[in-house]
Each structure stands twice: as C-alpha cells, then as structure tokens.
Structure 1
Amino acid sequence: MGNLAIIVDLETTGLDGGSDQIIEIGAIKVDLDTGEVIDQFQTFTKPDDVYTYFGDEDEEFDEEDVEPDRLDPFIVELTGITDEMLEGAPSNPEAVEAFFQFAGDLQIWAYNAGFDSKFLNVHTEEHRPLKDVLALAKRTFPNLTNHKLATVAQELNISIEGAHRAIADCLITKEVLLKGIQFQIENPHPFHHGFKASDYRPKEEGMFFGKIIVFTGALVTMTRDGAATHASQFGFKIGSGVTKKTDYLVVGIQDLSTLAGHDKSTKQRKAEELIAEGVNIEILTENDFIRMCGIGE
C-alpha cells in the first residue's frame, strides 16, 4: 500500500538523553504518496522514579523524608502532561519496544532525529537509523529565520495547534515533510548539470559491482546525484534508462502532472513490461534502496 513511512515524536523530561527520560511517544504511519495517515500510535510512559531526600543528613534515615521527584513545572506547562497522567503507564523500555513493534521495518522520520534517536537508543538494541525532517527542511527551505519546527510550519502556513504533544507534533512534521517532498518534485535535483549517468564510475570492490541501477522520480532523503554517488560506491553502474540489462529500478515520488495521464513514469512502465516478459528487474522504493545499501547505518 503506497510509499509508507513512520513519523515519530517524543516528549521528554528534558534535553539530556543520558539522564532525562521519555514521558510520551507518538507516531503516525503515513502514505507519503497521498499524505494519508494510515494508523497511529500513542502512549504515555512513566520515567523511573528519581528520589530526593528531605531529611537532615545528621539524623537517622527516615523513609517518610524520601519523595519521588515530580515533573518539572516547565515541562508540565510546555506539554500539558502531568504526573497524574503518567500513573500506571508503561516503563520507558516497554513503551519503546511497543513503538518499534508498531513501526515494523518501515523507514522512520523525526524532526531533529538525533534528539529522538538518543532517547530511543537507550532502551533498544536495534539502534534503527532515523531520517531527519529537520535536515530536509534546512536543505529545502534554507532562507528561513530559523528551522525550529514551529517556525518552519508557520512559514509554510501549517497549523501548529496542539504543538508539544507527540501526535500533534507528528502531524505538523508530516506536513513539513510533504511540503519538502512537493518541493523536490517541483524542483528536482537531477544529476550534476552537464553530467551523464555514465560519468558515475562503479567501485570495483563494491558488493553490487556488475549490477545496473536506474532512478526515476524525486528522492526525499537525498538528491539524485547523492543517490547515484552512493550507488556507484557500492559498485552499481548507473543506467540512464531501463533495458533488459537493468537489475534494479529505484522509484521516487512521481509528479502526476508530468506523466501524460499515467500514474507511473515511463521508466517504471518499461520495467514492468520487461518483468512481465520474464526479465529479472527488481523495482525498489527509496526506502528499499537505503536498506539494501545500509545507508545511514
């Protein structure tokens, strides 16, 4: 079903991934081709109790003088999340495990992904790479005052209602991501001006040396030049068109207005025709290409 991806957002007790903890995880499953939200995941998560001793150091220890720390009033004011809302919620490790079960093997996006990664990675051995919408926003809209999520959203006329709650921030991030995708479609990054696909020399020791790969459509996480450079480093020969010698076709986001009434590019339709004739061509999404080459891991 479509070009599915996960967008995740965390609310935390602070900014330090080593000492602060998660209090809410929100995620949505999105079809990047249509913008439709297919499913969503939300859970509060109770941090491990941190205790403060209020007794006199010179007196005998008394359990009644020990109280668990409460959420910082700033965090309560910012997010609207209270200690009472976290009572009975799963622990951070349990919540993170549930999130990754929801995400499955889909590509995961976040706004300022490095922040979310450091909190998630504390509680999992998966250490899944997260794609960064902030990096995409900086590359796509470089002239904004700053690239905080709220600033970018407002500059792009995206509502920020409900900001600083996980699902609301996911929905805002989704709109920024889709705007970035649309910009990529309308302003495609082809191979370097004046270069041909054949100018990308395949690395002979690459694991895919001898294979031919072709790209079609706008890519989201990298430019077409960047994708071709990565592919050639893994040994791929970059093809300019689909033929019987093609091994892989990577399909990006298609601009339907340029397809003369079709819903697929000429390259994709050619690949499907050859596959029907028995030619062994594998059609990949951008996510498939990234996973196959291990880019970002």
Structure 2
Amino acid sequence: MDFVAIDFETANSLRSSVCSIGIVKVKNGKIQEETHTLINPLSEFNFYNTKIHGITEYMVQDAPTFEEFWPNLKGYIENQTLIAHNASFDIGVLRESLGRFHEKQPEYDYSCSYRIARKVWPNLFNHKLSTIAKYLNINLRHHDALEDARASALITLEAMKKTQMRSIQELTSLHKIKLGSSSTLSKPTTRSRKSTQDASLQSVVSQNNAPNPKHPFYGANIVFTGRMISMTRMLAAQYAANCGAKCIGQVDLDTNFLVVGDQALQKYVQGIKSAKMQRVENLIGQGYPIEIVGEQDFLRLVKF
C-alpha cells in the first residue's frame, strides 16, 4: 500500500503555470509525510483561477519556481506510483512543466482516484472529489493542493480497504483500470511560454557590428535561469549578444556562463537550486570551467 498522491493548482489555462503543489506520501497503508508549497509560475494569474483556489500573484512572489522546486518534487515521485483525482490533468501539468525547462520525465506509474471511485462506488450521483470526500466523511477544503492530494490518497486507501486489495496494481487490475506510465507519455504537443522564450533567446543576434574580442562574454555560451528584476530575459540576451555571446536554453558541456536572476540568486545562497544550477555545479565539480554570474554582475559586464 505504498503510493504518492499529488495535486497541482495553476495560475491560468496553461498547464505549465503551476502556482501550488500538494504531495502526500503513503507508506504501508498510512500517510507518512505531507508537503505543500506555493510556486511562482512566472506568468499571469487568471481571475477565474484565482477565484477557484484563492492564490494571487502577490502570494507567490517569493515562492520557488517549478524549476527550483523540481529536485524536491522529483525525490517524491521518481520510481513511485502516483495517484491524483482526474489524473490526466495533473500528469499533464507535470509533463508540460518539465517540458518548459527541457527536463526529462522521471520513471513513475500513475492512476486516477476518480476512475477508481467510479468503479468502487458506482451508485454515487457523481464522483467529484468533494462528493466522494463527503460520502466517506473526509474533511476537505477543496482546491487547496495539499487538501486535495490528501483526499485523493484517503479515497484510494478506502477503495483498497473496501475491495481488500493490497496495492494500486491489484486494485486497478481488479477493476480493469489501465495503470499509466511516464515511459509511454508523449512529449508536450504545445510549446509553453518559457520554451518559446528559450528558443527566441537563441535566435537573438548581435546588433553591434564589431563586438569587443576582449570582452569576457565574447564567443561565450550563456544560459539564463531565474526571474530577472532589472530587465526581461530577451533584453538580457540582446545585451549578451551585443558583447559577442551566444544564448542557449540548456546547460551543456559547452556552457561558459550561467546568469542567475537576483531572486533566484538569493534562494541559491539559501540552498534552493534550480535544475540548471544543479547541472552547472555538477559540471564544475567535474572540472568544466563554468562561471555563475548574478544579475547585477551581469549588468556591469554587459556595460563594460
């Protein structure tokens, strides 16, 4: 009876606009651990979404981005069985959010507490999370990510108890529910805002006919991470290109500089590291000469 229940809330209609994550870890049929965090989606909040979950842009301004929180989330879901209510939405959110910063899907299986509930309690007039929670006397503050994840976990445990099944695999097999797998998920079919932005950054060309060959950025490959306060990433990329640099979307062996936005830099000092930061640290540890540059130092360098 081991699994992990998850729930995502989004800021707008884009599935990559995560603004809240709830995680409930179940071990041996009991809730062992619960985690919740707000997420800065780096995108606009839709009035309708805020009306549903109550999360505003002001509330997430100091929260980690999905990219920054990903190492923590990955630790919970990798090689696990995931449960979510209407799992197609939550798995889609996970897929699109990872695609936003070009991160590969980890290995996991998944199933849906909505589909399970329909099989186990077929006579209920509907199988919305709130309906099933009320029927099973589960306390629920709906559209709070942690509360929804917990309710999904408890519904699944009640279904296993009712059917005397000992695992998600047995439960889904009993009711002929296909168990999903991350290995069979197709790649995101739509390009998210940040993916498009990274591609655009790579297409920025120098507006200066003669960049200074002695500039530290001349001929360098630069990657950006974190939200910048003093400028947009596109403008930062143009400044870098004017110095003779090439802006790329992902950290690789040819990366020379990782430019970190001020907010992300503060979190980096506190030990909160994005996937790009972790990748750079690993490469530096292997002897690759990559420099991490803060936003303010970057500004001084491009005005060199």
TM-score by length of 1: 0.53
Q: Which structure has more helix as a fraction of its residues?
A: 2
Other-structure match for 1:42: 36
8 A contact 1:11–1:24 mirrored in 2: yes
Other-structure match for 2:10: 12
Other-structure match for 2:18: 22
Q: Kindly tell me: are residues 120 and 217 of structure 1, through their superposed partners in 2, closer, same or farther at Cα, counting changes over 3 Å?
A: closer
8 A contact 2:11–2:50 mirrored in 1: no
Other-structure match for 1:140: 120
Other-structure match for 1:179: 158
- 1:131 is aligned to 2:105: no
Post-superposition Cα deviations, 1:184-206, rounded to whole Å, max 9, x if no partner, equal: 11xx7xxxxxxxxxxxxxxxxxx
Identity of aligned residues (%): 22
Deviation at 1:78, TM superposition (A): 2.1
Deviation at 1:31, TM superposition (A): 2.2
Deviation at 1:217, TM superposition (A): 11
Q: Which has the higher contact order (CA 8 A, sep 6+)?
A: 2
Deviation at 1:82, TM superposition (A): 1.9
8 A contact 2:79–2:109 mirrored in 1: no
8 A contact 1:152–1:176 mirrored in 2: yes
8 A contact 2:11–2:18 mirrored in 1: yes
8 A contact 1:25–1:45 mirrored in 2: yes
- 1:156 is aligned to 2:136: yes
Other-structure match for 2:173: 222
Alignment length (residue pairs):
179
Other-structure match for 1:253: none
TM-score by length of 2: 0.51
Mapped to 1, the partners of 2:142 and 2:167 lie a distance apart of 36
Q: What letter corresponds to residue 180 of structure 1 in structure 2?
A: A
Deviation at 1:16, TM superposition (A): 4.3
* Structure 2: 5+ residue stretches without partners: 186-304
Mapped to 2, the partners of 1:97 and 1:81 lie a distance apart of 23
Mapped to 2, the partners of 1:223 and 1:102 lie a distance apart of 26
Mapped to 1, the partners of 2:64 and 2:122 lie a distance apart of 40
Mapped to 1, the partners of 2:149 and 2:92 lie a distance apart of 18
8 A contact 1:27–1:170 mirrored in 2: yes
Deviation at 1:7, TM superposition (A): 0.5
SS in 1 for 2:170: coil
Deviation at 1:15, TM superposition (A): 4.5
Which stretches of structure 1, 4 residues or longer, exceed 6 Å deviation after superposition? 215-218, 294-297
SS in 2 for 1:145: coil
Larger CA Rg, structure 1 vs 2: 1
Q: Kindly tell me: are residues 217 and 96 of structure 1, through their superposed partners in 2, closer, same or farther at Cα, counting changes over 3 Å?
A: closer
Deviation at 1:220, TM superposition (A): 1.8
Q: What letter corresponds to residue 170 of structure 1 in structure 2?
A: A
Q: Kindly tell me: are residues 83 and 183 of structure 1, through their superposed partners in 2, closer, same or farther at Cα, counting changes over 3 Å?
A: same
8 A contact 1:28–1:170 mirrored in 2: yes
CA root-mean-square deviation: 3.2
8 A contact 2:20–2:37 mirrored in 1: yes
Post-superposition Cα deviations, 1:218-264, rounded to whole Å, max 9, x if no partner, equal: 9222218x59xx9xxxxxxxxxxxxxxxxxxxxxxxxxxxxxxxxxx
8 A contact 1:25–1:95 mirrored in 2: no
Deviation at 1:159, TM superposition (A): 1.9
